[in-house]
Amino acid sequence: MSMKDEGPGNGDQGSGVRDQAGAAPEVPVPDLAANGTPPPLERAPLAYENTAFLNSADGRLIRIVAEYVEPLARFRKEQIQDTVVFFGSARFRGREEADLDLELLENTGSSRPAPSDEQPASIPAIVEGTATDLQRKRAVAAVEMARYYEDARRLAQMLTQWAKSIPSRRHRFVVTSGGGPGIMEAANRGAREAGGKTIGLNIRLPFEQAPNPYITPSLNFEFHYFFMRKLWFAYLAKALVVFPGGFGTLDEMFEVLTLTQTQKLAKKITVVIYGTEYWKKVFNLGALVDTGAISPKDLELFHLADTPEQAFEILRQGLTENYLVPEAAAAKARESAPPPPPETDLVTGTIDDFVAPELAKTRK
């Protein structure tokens, strides 16, 4: 997790010299009037309107808090109770089903294509023998990645259609992605096609990028701090679906698995790893068990799936058993219990009784 702050105002760290970005600009001392009275002074800006201060190193704490409070306010307004997060490669631009070609992007989430020598080979180039070995390998992989795009799109559709049928005054199990292209776009696209709200948690990167067009506009976020973006991925998530991807996908997947393994989350998260053949080539978890690095029971922290239907059934069962059934039982118990005295409601209630959306609890 990178906590590097690329914003203005880093020049003061470790230098012993105070950054003056947050201070009022220096102005020449005005000449006194003949009677000795200085001229009228302009009003100073309010602290929260002082952009120089907010963008300085001294304003970093406020920027971090803003990336917690502002998304929370929007989630409340949009009545988002919980999410299902989709992770996967953001290094390709999906095309329509009839065209299995894929265009690799310059970097994760970038809007610019990679160089031509890194692109999958075209059929004519393979026939003519002009394609490189890397291009031929990527041509084969492109067919698989196109399938994963459509599978993620289909799974998001199925999940959203089911979630919309759940009686609730808030939106349940809202499909959420990192907001970029590739698998993230496919997830947002499928949810939108099913008529549901869908969230994009984008991150500002030092190259040209743009959120995919399928995100619900009021739920389109852009973060500066990676760790705040990670918080919102995990905070509302009740399930995680991991499609084939690279460093970012691995990072997010193992972070959630580690939080679950160490019981740092006081909730159950259903984790689905999609694409068995791909992931078997990427890592060997059996070797970690054989060497004692992880326990055999740690392999039960996730499920493997290879079709949208299989993945959906795993999600539906996990979300129903872990949340919908207990919630229904708790609601029934509240109906039969006598109401508490009105004057003690606020005193005896917890923050979870008054904060919406229902936020995931973490262990103390």
Q: What is the pLDDT of residue 25?
A: 59
Task: Calculate the dihedral angle through the C-alpha atoms of 210, 213, 219, 225, rounding to the nearest 10 degrees.
Answer: -20
Q: What is the pLDDT of residue 227?
A: 95
Q: Is 209 helix (H, G, I), strand (E, B) or coil?
A: strand
Q: What is the pLDDT of residue 35?
A: 74
With a cut of 70, list the residues of the chain below it in pLDDT.
1-33, 92-144, 207-208, 340-364
Residue-wise burial string across 42-61, b where 16 or more C-beta atoms lie within 10 A, e elsewhere = eeeeeeeebebbbbbbbbbe
Q: What is the pLDDT of residue 192?
A: 98
Q: What is the pLDDT of residue 3?
A: 46
Q: Is 202 helix (H, G, I), strand (E, B) or coil?
A: strand
Residue-wise burial string across 215-238, b where 16 or more C-beta atoms lie within 10 A, e elsewhere = bbeebbbebbbbebbbbbbbbbbb
Within 10 Å of residue 153's Cβ, how many Cβ atoms? 24
Contact between residue 174 and residue 319 where contact means Cβ atoms under 8 Å apart: no
Q: What is the pLDDT of residue 18?
A: 47
Express each pLDDT in 129-178 by its tens digit.
665 666 556 655 666 678 899 999 999 999 999 999 999 999 999 999 99
- Which residues, including other chains, have CB under 8 Å from residue 36's CB and lie 6 or more apart? none
Where do the DSSP E strands lie in 44-149? Answer: 83-87, 92-93, 103-104
Tell me the C-alpha distance between 303 and 315, whole Å: 10
Task: Calculate the dihedral angle through the C-alpha atoms of 322, 259, 173, 251, rounding to the nearest 10 degrees.
Answer: -140
Tell me the C-alpha distance between 298 and 318, whole Å: 17
Within 10 Å of residue 71's Cβ, how many Cβ atoms? 22
Q: What is the pLDDT of residue 210?
A: 84
pTM for this one? 0.76
Helix or strand (DSSP H, E) at 274:
strand 270-274
Contact between residue 48 and residue 164 where contact means Cβ atoms under 8 Å apart: no
DSSP state of 324: I
Contact between residue 46 and residue 18 where contact means Cβ atoms under 8 Å apart: no
Q: What is the pLDDT of residue 98?
A: 33
Q: What is the pLDDT of residue 147?
A: 87
Q: What is the pLDDT of residue 327?
A: 94
Is cis: bond before 38, omega within 30 of 0? no
Q: What DSSP line would sit under 8-55, residue for residue?
A: S-GGGTTTSS--GGGSPPP-PPPPPPTTSPPPPPPPPPPGGG-HHHHT
Type of residue found at 120: P
Tokens of 205: 């990167």
Q: What is the CA radius of gyration of the chain?
A: 25
Q: What is the pLDDT of residue 230?
A: 95
Backbone angles phi, psi at 362, to 5 degrees: -115, 150
Length of the chain: 364
